[in-house]
């Protein structure tokens, strides 16, 4: 049989493989974060009919080159353009994530660790962040300060009982500002809002009663009217440690107005005030709940009376109600950030990423997943912060396929022509064999 026929057959097989690669690229032109592949050809072994010889001075004969007949082609390599980043597609979905740079998301499926560039993540019934195929997105948990604990990666949750709420805090101080009309001796009323350590909301209605002039100061006593808890009346009352005092000539508050103590009690029983520890920090030495009031911002001018109160003094001691998660997202460092109804914003986890010394050595596993191989480099089980390398994470954006259709269609044409030419070799070889057989006629 003719060698050319077998060479052409190997050429057909190699071109068919290249066509398979091109077809897969085109089929995945819109697959999230798909990395295109390319194939190169390689010649196979040769049959040597004459070996090379060097010049011989004794015989005076020159050197001759080897004579070799090639026996076809084969697949040289199939490479993945894994370092070529695809374009960006805006989705505005908080859990559609795109890695800028060369690192990979870490996911775990049935106990096996994989890597992916496709960040089209979802939230499952348990609140875990997962891929469309159900693999868990892995990262680091955080400490009480919201900083990532960089140890072995574990599942990340964006909505679970552990993170659905934030703890309340007792209000320890309030600030009252505004103006008391200097020409009026009428009683003025204002309200003070605060929280206890269980997150209950209180509103105290307070009367400021004109108490006359002592020396250079005009005084107003602070008297309770009522205290409601979560909108319902209570038996709570309080006593103020001192009256409000204003300079009669300037209308400015006395310095003592900045540290007035409101001591609460329940029907006068201080030790049982407000169900025991609601308003107190558990373990504090005070026997009664105390609220510090800063009224140094109140003036006594001729303008009409207008009083306002706010939680805290200079932003401290404000306290807060129980916070229910209202939204969650991912920042550029991979931190999962939750916002709560009480104004608290905190980190509840961080997405870790993996980098490899030779990412082209990763093995495709389907479902946009890769696994580490001996030639890609190993994964240490911990990963790294995406910002430690050359990358960042964009939320609401997906990485598109990096398939270049113009190149694929060009390769399609050349592959078709190569396949066609090899088939012609078989046809012509068959004709030559037919002529050989016809010699017997």
Domain limits, the chain: 3-83+402-440, 96-165+325-394, 173-311
pLDDT of residue 365: 94
Residue 395: both structure tokens together: 């939320």
Q: Does the CA dihedral 307-313-314-319 come out positive or negative? A: negative
The whole-angstrom separation of Cα 363 and Cα 383 is 19
Whether 381 and 316 have beta carbons less than 8 Å apart is answered as no
Class (C level, CATH) for 173-311? mainly beta
Ranges of residues in the chain with a pLDDT under 70 are 1, 267-288, 441
Q: Does the CA dihedral 254-194-302-240 come out positive or negative? A: negative
Dihedral angle over CA of 85, 87, 89, 93, nearest 10: 20
Phi, psi of 349 (to 5 degrees): 165, 165
User: Euclidean distance between the first and final Cα of the chain, in Å?
Assistant: 20
pLDDT of residue 386: 93
Alpha-carbon separation of residue 62 from 55, 65, 385 (angstroms):
4, 10, 67
In residues, how long is the chain? 441
Task: Tell me the whole-structure pTM to 2 decimals.
Answer: 0.78
The whole-angstrom separation of Cα 253 and Cα 244 is 8
pLDDT of residue 415: 94
């Amino acid at each position: 049989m003719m060698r050319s026929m077998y060479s052409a057959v190997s050429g057909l097989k190699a071109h068919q493989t290249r066509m398979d690669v091109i077809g897969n690229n085109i089929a995945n032109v819109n697959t999230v974060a798909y990395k295109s592949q390319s194939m190169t050809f390689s010649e196979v072994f040769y049959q040597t009919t004459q070996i090379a010889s060097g010049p011989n001075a004794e015989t005076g004969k020159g050197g001759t080159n080897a004579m070799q007949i090639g026996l076809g082609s084969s697949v040289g390599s199939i490479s993945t353009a894994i370092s070529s980043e695809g374009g960006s597609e805006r989705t505005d979905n908080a859990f559609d994530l795109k890695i800028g740079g060369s690192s990979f998301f870490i996911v775990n499926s049935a106990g096996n660790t994989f890597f992916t560039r496709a960040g089209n993540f979802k939230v499952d019934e348990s609140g875990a962040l997962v891929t469309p195929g159900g693999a868990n997105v892995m990262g680091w948990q955080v400490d009480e300060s919201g900083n990532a604990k960089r140890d072995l990666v574990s599942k990340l949750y964006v909505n679970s009982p552990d993170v659905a709420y934030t703890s309340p805090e007792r209000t320890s101080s309030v600030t009252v500002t505004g103006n008391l009309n200097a020409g009026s001796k009428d009683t003025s009323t204002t309200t003070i809002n605060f929280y206890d350590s269980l997150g209950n909301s209180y509103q105290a209605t307070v009367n400021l009663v004109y108490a006359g002039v002592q020396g250079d100061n005009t005084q107003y006593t602070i008297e309770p009217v009522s205290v409601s808890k979560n909108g319902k009346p209570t038996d709570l009352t309080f006593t103020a440690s001192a009256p409000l005092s204003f300079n009669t000539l300037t209308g400015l508050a006395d310095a003592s107005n900045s540290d007035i103590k409101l001591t609460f009690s329940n029907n006068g029983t201080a030790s049982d005030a407000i169900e025991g520890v609601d308003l107190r920090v558990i373990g504090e030495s005070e026997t009664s709940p105390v609220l510090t009031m800063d009224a140094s911002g109140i003036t006594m001018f001729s303008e009409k009376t207008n009083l306002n109160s706010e939680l805290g003094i200079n932003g401290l001691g404000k306290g807060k109600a129980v916070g229910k998660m209202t939204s969650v997202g991912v920042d550029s460092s991979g931190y999962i950030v939750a916002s709560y109804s009480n104004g608290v914003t905190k980190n509840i986890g961080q997405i870790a990423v993996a980098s490899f010394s030779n990412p082209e050595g990763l093995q495709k596993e389907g479902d946009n997943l890769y696994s580490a191989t001996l030639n890609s480099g190993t994964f240490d089980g911990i990963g790294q912060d995406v910002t430690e390398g050359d990358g960042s994470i964009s939320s609401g954006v997906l990485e598109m396929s990096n398939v270049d259709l113009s190149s694929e269609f060009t390769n399609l044409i050349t592959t078709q022509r190569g396949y066609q030419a090899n088939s012609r070799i078989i046809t012509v070889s068959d004709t030559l064999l037919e002529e050989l057989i016809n010699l017997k006629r």
